Amino acid sequence: MIMDPSLSLDTLKLVRSDAGLSQIVGQETLRSNYALTAAGMAATPGQVKWWRTARGNARSMFLLSMKMTAIHGLGPIYTVHSGEFHGFQEGNPSVSPYRVRLDLFDGADRHYQITIADVDRTHPVLSQAQLNAVATSLKPIPLK
């Protein structure tokens, strides 16, 4: 299943448009949908500490909440840099439930979501090498 970025609501852009958010997460994190997603994916609960500043903890908690809405419990998260895309792979295609989700961003910061899974989730659909080949072969939708 491949989702066309022009057919979905750009929730990341809506979040980034919140003027007060730059005070919490910083301008650099809000420069693009990919930057915001990358910061969220890098967030860990261990970054929230009682001795950190309120602003630092607020940033970590916000990014953790972003991560929790973005992940789907498919397993480990990997960074992807493939062809004209960069983003994240969630899940391992050779480990049950044999489901992988790619969240890829093109040079225009458009978000592509690709889910690869067997209907009954009983066996792998693609190997990691095949998945890498698919991701590398993708081309962004031309800008209009």
How many C-beta neighbours within 10 Å does residue 121 have?
A: 12
Provide the residue type at 101 as one letter. R
The model's confidence at residue 14, banded by pLDDT at 50, 70 and 90, is low
The answer to whether 80 touches 102, Cβ cutoff 8 Å, is yes
At 8 the pLDDT is 62
Is the per-residue pLDDT at 12 higher than 90? no
Cα–Cα distance, 13 to 31 (Å, whole number): 10
At 34 the pLDDT is 92
Is the per-residue pLDDT at 87 higher than 90? yes
At 103 the pLDDT is 92
At 85 the pLDDT is 93
In 3D space, the residue among 141, 84, 77, 87 whose CA is nearest the CA of residue 113 turns out to be 87
In 3D space, the residue among 43, 62, 46 whose CA is nearest the CA of residue 54 turns out to be 62
Query: Phi and psi (nearest 5°) for 2?
Result: -125, 125
The model's confidence at residue 52, banded by pLDDT at 50, 70 and 90, is confident
Is the per-residue pLDDT at 15 higher than 80? no
Report the pLDDT averaged over residues 93-112: 90
**Looking at the whole model, is its pTM more than 0.75?**
yes
Q: Cα-atom radius of gyration of the chain, to the nearest Å?
A: 16
Report the pLDDT averaged over residues 27-38: 88
